Amino acid sequence: MLQDRRILLIVSGGIAAYKTLELVRRLRERGASLCSIMTAAAHHFVTPLSLASLSENKVYSELFSLTQESEMGHIRLSREAELIVVAPASADLLARMALGLASDLATATLLAADKPILVAPAMNAMMWAHPATQANLATLEGRGVIRVGPGAGELACGEVGAGRMAEPGEILAAIEAFFSRSQLLKGRKALVTSGPTREPIDPVRYLSNRSSGKQGHAIAAALAAAGAKTVLVSGPTAEPDPAGVTVVPVETAAEMLRSCEGSLPVDVAVMAAAVSDWAIAAVAPQKLKKTESGAPRLSLVENPDILASIAGRASGRPPLVIGFAAETQNLLENARSKRARKGCDWILANDVSAERGTFGGDSNRITLVRADGIEEWPEMTKREVGQRLAERIAAALAEESRSPSGARKPL
């Protein structure tokens, strides 16, 4: 399962570092190849010799070491790995990662990394609970960093609480899950839309909506993590670009449609953007001024329906086209008729009534509407929705590839 998988292991300072040695032993048993970096603090807890012996490979720790840099530059360390595992990840290292510091080999490598990162935090319970640590974690997870643990229990400092590094078996399971997930959509291409669109009124004003882009970005991140070559066409959002995704920034619905069409062909298109239904008929070339005659009258024209247009293509229609139905009432009924009206294969229906806090929030409750029935998902984070959707997409595309051509089952 992990045979020949290339992992870069970063060990920071913490009592839990002794458990990392066990993790290394088990990774090697499974055939993974490991290269390691130790922070200065890690040297107080384990020795480079024990790590080098168990990993059967070099251990690096100096950023400015002539011998180490000439052997293997810090940039190459991450380039040659498929996954970076930080275990233990101390509060200090997490903070430096969140800030983007590059003051030693570990942080410089992490900052220059273009690979997925998995962290196993380990620290005192108060340090873990501190808002600074929690904010750092949220930042890192928002950038796609995967976290395993920490667990709760008796800590090395004698206190009891959350902060114990996950056990080697749990970290191993998370690493295996990462590698199996990363194969799901290998060789596939995906297109995702996200965020709101902005329809200009004049050079300084626009018509838009409250979409945060969190769900669309999480879907793009999950598809990329599952191995799909993913293009994300997004309106303006505050979300960071998901790792491994090609982001195409757009403003208006017309630009979004053009960029989507330019990204075809793809195996799957997921339209999660909250496209403004209307644009201003005649955009004022200069800023509109207040006049004696009162407020200006804005005349609207309908925007192109991107989902319907991609789903209705005579040639180059993606085999799987998925839309969202943002509803405030009659969720299922509206979602079903939206699916039929837009000609897409699946609809992810979600309740966006103000009291549910879906717009801008971190969680979502989805009902997946397909031709052959519905699937109700429990309330989960937008990231989890992305992961579950990636699994469903992988299963449907695999099924589609198996069925003889011409006998295509409705997806």
Instruction: Point out the residues that are catalytic.
Output: 157
Three-class DSSP labels, the chain = CCCCCEEEEEECCCCCHHHHHHHHHHHHHCCCEEEEEECCHHHHCCCHHHHHHHHCCCEECCCCCHHHHHHCCHHHHHHCCCEEEEEEECHHHHHHHHHCCCCCHHHHHHHCCCCCEEEEECCCHHHHHCHHHHHHHHHHHHCCCEECCCEEEECCCCCEEEEECCCHHHHHHHHHHHHHHCCCCCCCEEEEEECECCEECCCCCEECCCCCCHHHHHHHHHHHHCCCEEEEEECCCCCCCCCCCEEEECCCHHHHHHHHHHHCCCCEEEECCECCCEEECCCCCCCCCCCCCCCCCCCEEECCCHHHHHHCCCCCCCCEEEEEEEECCCHHHHHHHHHHHHCCCEEEEEECCHHHCCCCCCEECEEEEECCEEEECCCEEHHHHHHHHHHHHHHHHHHHHHCCCCCCCCC
Binding string to ligand CTP for residues 292 to 311, with x set by CB under 6 A, is what? -----------x-xxx----
Indicate whether 252 belongs to the interface with ligand CTP (CB under 6 A).
no
Measured from the CB atom, the residue of 354 and 407 that comes closer to ligand CTP is 354
Instruction: Select from 232, 323, 382, 394 the one that contacts ligand CTP (CB under 6 A).
Output: 323
Please, what is the minimum distance in Å from the beta carbon of residue 310 to ligand CTP? 8
- Least Cα distance to 37 among 92, 3, 5, 75 occurs for 75
Indicate whether 275 belongs to the interface with ligand CTP (CB under 6 A).
yes
Measured from the CB atom, the residue of 14 and 323 that comes closer to ligand CTP is 323
Please, what is the minimum distance in Å from the beta carbon of residue 326 to ligand CTP? 4
Binding string to ligand CTP for residues 166 to 205, with x set by CB under 6 A, is what? ---------------------------x------------
Measured from the CB atom, the residue of 320 and 325 that comes closer to ligand CTP is 325
Measured from the CB atom, the residue of 193 and 387 that comes closer to ligand CTP is 193
Of residues 12-41, which lie at the interface with ligand CTP (CB under 6 A)? none
Measured from the CB atom, the residue of 93 and 271 that comes closer to ligand CTP is 271
Instruction: Select from 269, 326, 396, 411 the one that contacts ligand CTP (CB under 6 A).
Output: 326
Please, what is the minimum distance in Å from the beta carbon of residue 144 to ligand CTP? 23
Measured from the CB atom, the residue of 17 and 191 that comes closer to ligand CTP is 191
Please, what is the minimum distance in Å from the beta carbon of residue 153 to ligand CTP? 45
Please, what is the minimum distance in Å from the beta carbon of residue 40 to ligand CTP? 49
- Least Cα distance to 282 among 304, 300, 305, 262 occurs for 300
Whether the upstream peptide bond of residue 236 has omega within 30° of 0, thus cis, is no
Please, what is the minimum distance in Å from the beta carbon of residue 56 to ligand CTP? 50
d(CA 83, CA 6): 7
Measured from the CB atom, the residue of 45 and 324 that comes closer to ligand CTP is 324
Instruction: Select from 140, 271, 321, 394 the one that contacts ligand CTP (CB under 6 A).
Output: 271
Instruction: Select from 32, 46, 233, 325 the one that contacts ligand CTP (CB under 6 A).
Output: 325
Please, what is the minimum distance in Å from the beta carbon of residue 271 to ligand CTP? 4
Indicate whether 232 belongs to the interface with ligand CTP (CB under 6 A).
no
**Strands 246-249, 229-234: parallel, antiparallel or unpaired by DSSP?**
parallel
Instruction: Select from 27, 273, 390, 394 the one that contacts ligand CTP (CB under 6 A).
Output: 273
d(CA 104, CA 118): 19
Residue for token digits 């997490």?
Answer: 94
Measured from the CB atom, the residue of 77 and 307 that comes closer to ligand CTP is 307
The interface region with ligand CTP, picked from 61-69, 153-161, 289-297, 319-327 by CB under 6 A, is: 319-327
The interface region with ligand CTP, picked from 93-101, 127-135, 224-232, 271-279 by CB under 6 A, is: 271-279
Please, what is the minimum distance in Å from the beta carbon of residue 305 to ligand CTP? 4
Interface with ligand CTP by CB under 6 A: which residues?
A: 193, 253, 271, 273, 275, 277, 303, 305-307, 323-326, 338
